[in-house]
Amino acid sequence: MSWLKRIFGIQLTPPERAIVLYVRCDRCQSTVSVRVDRYNDLAIEYNEREVEVGFVVNKPIMDTKCFRVMQATLTFDTHRIEQSRTISGGAFIDEATYRALQPTP
Ligand SMILES: [Zn+2]
């Protein structure tokens, strides 16, 4: 049965479907989290020869304080593995920082 285990081992380790982005607005410093769905939100990207080179996501993110839109752009390879992320109008922060900045209920 080890061959079966190997096959399932491979099949059970795809990248997580949802990517959570934590961002902080440059203007009002408030924080927002948004989800990117690796299967629904990605748009195929082609090179100049119309060959599929990967995926891209352009995600507008709005905070709830100053309502300015920040624009996040993520790129992925053909296996939907993240290659880069950039954002204008804000900055990416890590999950721990995001959690630490949330008001306590
Ligand atoms: Zn803001």
Over residues 46-54, the mean pLDDT reads 94
Predicted confidence at residue 16, as pLDDT, reads 84
Tell how far CA 3 is from the center of its chain: 34
Asked if 92 and 22 touch (Cβ cutoff 8 Å), the reply is: yes
Using the mean position of ligand 1's atoms as its centre, give its distance from the Cα of residue 32 in Å.
9
* Measured distance CA(105)–CA(102) in Å, rounded: 9
Q: What is the pTM of this model?
A: 0.80
Using the mean position of ligand 1's atoms as its centre, give its distance from the Cα of residue 90 in Å.
8
Using the mean position of ligand 1's atoms as its centre, give its distance from the Cα of residue 67 in Å.
6
Using the mean position of ligand 1's atoms as its centre, give its distance from the Cα of residue 38 in Å.
26
Using the mean position of ligand 1's atoms as its centre, give its distance from the Cα of residue 104 in Å.
20
> What average pLDDT does the chain have?
89
Over residues 62-91, the mean pLDDT reads 96
Predicted confidence at residue 7, as pLDDT, reads 55
